[in-house]
Amino acid sequence: MMGYFEAARALESAGRDFVTVTLISGRGHIPQDPGAKMLVTSDGLHFGTVGGGKVEARALLHARALLEERKPHPETHVWNLQKDIGMTCGGEVTYLFEPHLQHAWRVRIFGAGHVAQSLVRVLRDLPVSLTCVDARSEWIDKLPRDHGNLEIFHAPVPGEWVVANEIGQDDFFVVITQGHATDVPVLEALFRKHPRPRYIGVIGSETKGIKIRSELRERGIAEESIGCLRIPIGLDIGTNHPGEIAISIAAELLQVRDRKE
C-alpha cells in the first residue's frame, strides 16, 4: 500500500485533482479483493486497480465525471455486475469515491478595506482559493503576501476586471467595496456573466439592499438574478467590529458551501 500513498502524495504535491476509488465490499464473484484502490485524474487511471475490465471502466468514468463536475463530497455506489455493468459474473461490488480537489472552493472578494482585511486573514488558512480585487493601492498593499492561495489584483475599475477574467458559476462572490456606488457596477458585471451564482452578497443594511436592488433593476438585471443577492451578508452574530463581521461572513460562506443540494 505504500505505493498508493506515495502516488497520492505526489499528486497532492503537484497540485493535481484526483479521486481515490476503493472497493469497500463485495458479494459473490468479484474481480478484486476489498481494500483495492486506484487513483484517477482527469487523464484517466493514474495508479492501482479495483478490478479491471468493465467494472473498472465504469468506476473510471464515474471518477472522471466527479472531477469534471468538481464534486467535493465522497460517494458510495453499489453495482450489480450483471444488471448494472453487463458482466457475466453474478456478484455485487460497493465502491467508495473520494475526490481530492485542490482549492475546489473559490472565494472572490471585491474590496480590500477593514472587513476584507480581516476576512482574508480568517479564510487564508482554509482549503480555499482566494482572490481580492480593489482599486485602492493603499489597501491592496496591506493584504498579506505570504499565502500561495491568495491572489491580489489592483484594478482601477473592478467591474472591468470581472469582464476580463475567468470566474465560475460556483465561485463565491463577496462585494465589500467603498460603498453602493462602487458595489453596483461589480454586481452588474457579475450577474451579466453568471445570472445565478452559488453565492453573491454585499455588506450593508437592508435599506442599502433596497437601493442596490432598485439600481440593478434600472440597469436591466433580471429579477431572478436579483433574488440571489444577499444583503446584508453574514450570520446574525457578533458586533460591528470588522473582525467579528468577517467571522460572521466566513461562517455564512461555510454554511452555504456545505449545504447539501
73 and 154, same domain (yes or no): no
Number of domains in the chain: 2
Mean local confidence (pLDDT), 232-250 = 95
117 and 215, same domain (yes or no): yes
* Residue 260: band (very low, low, confident or very high) from pLDDT cuts 50, 70, 90: low
pLDDT at 2: 57
> Residue 190's domain spans which residues?
105-257
Q: Which three cell numbers stand for residue 6?
A: 506515495
**How many C-beta atoms lie closer than 10 Å to residue 39's C-beta?**
20
**How many C-beta atoms lie closer than 10 Å to residue 259's C-beta?**
8
Cβ pair 233, 203 in contact under 8 A: yes
103 has a pLDDT exceeding 90:
no
Report d(CA 248, CA 239) in Å as an integer: 9
250 and 121, same domain (yes or no): yes
Question: What mean pLDDT is reported for the chain?
Answer: 90
Reported as a single tens digit per residue, the pLDDT across 147-169 is: 667 889 999 999 999 999 888 88
177 and 192, same domain (yes or no): yes
Report d(CA 249, CA 230) in Å as an integer: 11
